[in-house]
A = this chain, B = another copy of it.
């Protein structure tokens, strides 16, 4: 009884060329594609470059993916779900300010990771020509963030640590998350040296602004 497609128990092969723990050829292609697309953008990326980086011939790529577009979608789809692997939802024992600061700092760090920035750039660049791509990215990224923070804010309100009117909750969530996309994020996206503010200061003030307006007086 033959097994197909890397059955669970079988250890992965090692690529003899670079000694890295390369998986199936298909996975090699995906990884290489990821690197090339995120580095060059869709249009400037070439299948030759992907083939070289995957230690594979172009024909092999086309054995697994119909065309360039299909490979791109597979790559980006993979990155989208990977980028949003679960947050550590802050323990809500302390006061609201501490919780918000913690959350803000996590989001900030995650947004500034080089792969997150590259993904952001490439998706924005191609979204006008591939609507589904924009949808997928939004659903896997911003939409999840909004939902998660929304639940957290609602919880804090229910427990009397914040006092956000129901009708205003979505807007507060939106502005809270937006506050984390300031100068530091912009400069990072543009590839400029380093932002002017420290991440802790930003997280602090974002939490502070929300608490100043919607915190409960003690």
Contacts and interface: CB of A to CB of B under 8 A. Distances in A.
Interface string A189-200: 111100011000
Report copies per complex: 2
Interface in A119-160: 120-128, 131, 134-135, 137-138, 142, 146
A106 to B, nearest CB: 17
Nearest to A124: B121
Given A212-B213, A213-B213, A127 B189 contact: yes
Contact of A174 (B126, B172, B183): B183
Interface stretch (A12-20, A63-71, A202-210): A202-210
28 contacts: A40-B43, A41-B41, A41-B43, A41-B125, A42-B44, A43-B43, A121-B125, A124-B125, A124-B190, A127-B191, A128-B191, A134-B191, A138-B187, A138-B192, A168-B205, A172-B205, A175-B182, A175-B202, A175-B205, A178-B178, A178-B179, A178-B180, A178-B181, A178-B182, A178-B183, A181-B182, A208-B213, A209-B213
